[in-house]
Amino acid sequence: MSFEPKIVGILCNWCSYAGADLAGISRKKYTPNVRVVRVMCSGRVDPTFVLKAFESGADGVLICGCHPGECHYAEGNYKAARRIPLLKKMLSQLGIEDERVRLEWVSASEGDRFASIVDEMTEQIRRLGPFSRNGGGENG
Amino acid sequence: MAKPKIALYWAASCGGCDVAVLDTNEKLLDIANIADIVFWPIALDFKYHHLEAMEDGSVDLCLFNGAIRSSEQERIARLLRAKSKVMVAFGACACFGGIPALANFTNRDEIFERAYVEAPSNANANGTFPQTLTKVSEGELELPELFDTVLTLAQVIDVEYFVPGCPPPVDIILKVVDLFATGQLPPVGAIIASDKTLCDECDRTKEEKKITKFYRPHEIIPDPKKCLLEQGIICCGPATRGGCGLRCIQANMPCRGCFGPPPGVVDQGAKLVSALASIYQGDSEAEIARMVEEVLDPAGTFYRFGLADSMLKRKRLQQPQTEGIK
């Protein structure tokens, strides 16, 4: 059986969740590998959420927020824009591939864009293989 | 009535926790007055077979320092668990893995390669590596096996209490002994330290945190009155438990996180990423890239004492990908 990646999508309420919704009501076809969690703002995405997703069996985490300058709360997405790259640098030191965590800006009108991001990320993670959390090594 | 019995042990640690017990100075005599120390390899001449000969549950309190990274340490941890009524993970290594757990960024093969081949001081022409079993004409020689992954004490055995710190400060050590002697030990699972963050207890002047550049401690001379983080020095105070007595802060050095995460925080490193990235000033891609570059070693800085206890626990061991590939 081929490997189907599990991707946790954490989407902001005001832009990206509406964008994903638009992809749906436009009958846009895209891979069903993303499980969407709605948060009020991408600035609410604690880096712990990303680790928690991996710990719970996710193979990738997609975080989407409003485009810079368009945040419903003025600057929440800028916080995400700083947190996620720093988190990714830390995760790379822990052997987690760059493609497994992705931050994207998706507006409420960008249903097509959301669908193509999910398609692309699914394909990238399919190539990487499962996250298979090797927590403890042979003794742990 | 017989005096209660105390055991102390060191596993993967530097000995600093044992020295911290000695730092109680004349109070150590009080401890010796209220209890018999029945096992303490660093200070007293007891052997493992003395410990094995004791009855199960006959030791009233065990202060166990150090992480677990070899078969010998695991065996003695299990042995002490069987012999002890109350097991205390004593110090940052036993609680969170500590400095030894930085080895979780690598694995046994890489460690052996570095220690016995690459290190410039080596003269190992035959490529000899430590073996768990070596046959010689007189018989077999055994060495403990080194683990790939450094573990916390609680990942190996049940632990009643946690005393963090590198090393635990004297006032907390005396508090533990006092709680034990007076029968007032808290509910099992308690971390005997403060319930606040280090920032909460820090007495430096704090204003609005807006950082435009991160400095490493040797790059600037910090103002001893002002919040170190506000001066751009990475300080782990926002995501570290207090109770340490501000030892580093008073030496004008940033907090390194040895008391572990405060209550409510699962992963110290993730929270520090969140805290530091939030207060950095700069929204453009170039500014964000500069910030990421200025934090030279995020995993090593934010998990300096806590990698074994973090959500990911170690760098992923890359296994050959067999399943899941089309």
Q: Render pLDDT for B224-253 as a digit per residue (tens, 0 to 9).
A: 999 999 999 999 999 999 999 999 999 999
Per the domain annotation, does A28 fall within a domain? yes
Residue B324: predicted pLDDT: 39
Amino acid at A118: V
Per the domain annotation, does A137 fall within a domain? no
Across chain B, what does the average pLDDT equal? 93
Among the partner residues A50, A79, A140, nearest to B277 by beta-carbon distance: A79
Per the domain annotation, does A136 fall within a domain? no
Q: Which of residues 34-63 of A touch B (CB under 8 A)?
A: 46-48, 50-52, 54-55
C-alpha distance from B2 to closest chain A C-alpha (Å): 39
Per the domain annotation, does A53 fall within a domain? yes
d(C-alpha B272, C-alpha A104), whole Å? 22
Q: What is the CATH number of the domain that holds A14?
A: 3.40.50
d(C-alpha A42, C-alpha A66), whole Å? 8
Domain containing residue A110 = 7-130
Among the partner residues A81, A87, A137, nearest to B273 by beta-carbon distance: A87
What is the band of A139 on the pLDDT scale with cuts at 50, 70, 90? very low
Per the domain annotation, does A139 fall within a domain? no
DSSP B67: B
C-beta of residue B314 within 8 angstroms of C-beta of residue B104: yes
Kindly list the residues from chain B whose CB atom is less than 8 angstroms away from the CB atom of residue A45: none
Give the mean model confidence (pLDDT) for residues B100-117. 94
Asked if the model's pLDDT at residue B306 lies above 70, the reply is yes
Residue B207: predicted pLDDT: 92
Instruction: Of A122, A114, A123, A125, give the one whose Cα is nearest residue A67.
Output: A114
Residue B193: predicted pLDDT: 96
What is the band of B215 on the pLDDT scale with cuts at 50, 70, 90? very high
Kindly list the residues from chain A whose CB atom is less than 8 angstroms away from the CB atom of residue B282: 82
Are the Cβ atoms of A46 and B274 closer than 8 angstroms? yes
C-beta of residue B162 within 8 angstroms of C-beta of residue B95: yes
Which pLDDT tens digit goes with each residue over B144-200? 999 999 999 999 999 999 999 999 999 999 999 999 999 999 999 999 999 999 999
Say which residue, B2 or B275, is predicted with more confidence.
B275
Kindly list the residues from chain A whose CB atom is less than 8 angstroms away from the CB atom of residue B292: 85-86, 89
Query: Residue with structure tokens 């004297």?
Result: B170
Residue B323: predicted pLDDT: 44
Are the Cβ atoms of B291 and A93 closer than 8 angstroms? no
C-alpha distance from A28 to closest chain B C-alpha (Å): 26
DSSP H helical ranges for A26-110: 47-55, 76-93
Are the Cβ atoms of B277 and A83 closer than 8 angstroms? yes
- Token readout for B45 is 């001449």
How many degrees, rounded to 5, is the angle at CA B325 between CA B323 and CA B326?
A: 125
Are the Cβ atoms of B149 and A140 closer than 8 angstroms? yes
Among the partner residues B267, B277, B299, nearest to A48 by beta-carbon distance: B267
Mutant choice from B312, B322, B326 vs A, greatest count of A C-beta within 10 A: B312
Q: The domain at B5-100+149-181 falls in which architecture? A: 3-Layer(aba) Sandwich (3.40)
Kindly list the residues from chain A whose CB atom is less than 8 angstroms away from the CB atom of residue B148: 137-140
Q: What is the DSSP string of B111-136?
A: HHHIIIIISTT---TT-----SEEEE
Kindly list the residues from chain A whose CB atom is less than 8 angstroms away from the CB atom of residue B111: none
**ipTM for this prediction:** 0.92
Asked if the model's pLDDT at residue A133 lies above 90, the reply is no
Among the partner residues A51, A79, A85, nearest to B267 by beta-carbon distance: A51
Are the Cβ atoms of A82 and B302 closer than 8 angstroms? no
Worst-scoring range by mean pLDDT, A119-133, B264-278, B301-315? A119-133
Q: Is the peptide bond before B167 cis (omega within 30 degrees of 0)?
A: yes
Among the partner residues A83, A90, A95, nearest to B269 by beta-carbon distance: A90
Are the Cβ atoms of A89 and B278 closer than 8 angstroms? no
C-alpha distance from B96 to closest chain A C-alpha (Å): 14
Which pLDDT tens digit goes with each residue over A55-114? 999 999 999 999 999 999 999 999 999 999 999 999 999 999 999 999 999 999 999 999
Among the partner residues B283, B292, B323, nearest to A68 by beta-carbon distance: B283
Q: Which residue of B has its CA nearest to A5?
A: B324
Residue boundaries of the structural domains of chain B: 5-100+149-181, 107-147, 198-302
d(C-alpha A65, C-alpha B304), whole Å? 31
Kindly list the residues from chain A whose CB atom is less than 8 angstroms away from the CB atom of residue B278: 79, 82-83
d(C-alpha B188, C-alpha B131), whole Å? 40
Kindly list the residues from chain A whose CB atom is less than 8 angstroms away from the CB atom of residue B326: 2-3, 126
Q: Is A89 on the interface with B (CB under 8 A)?
A: yes
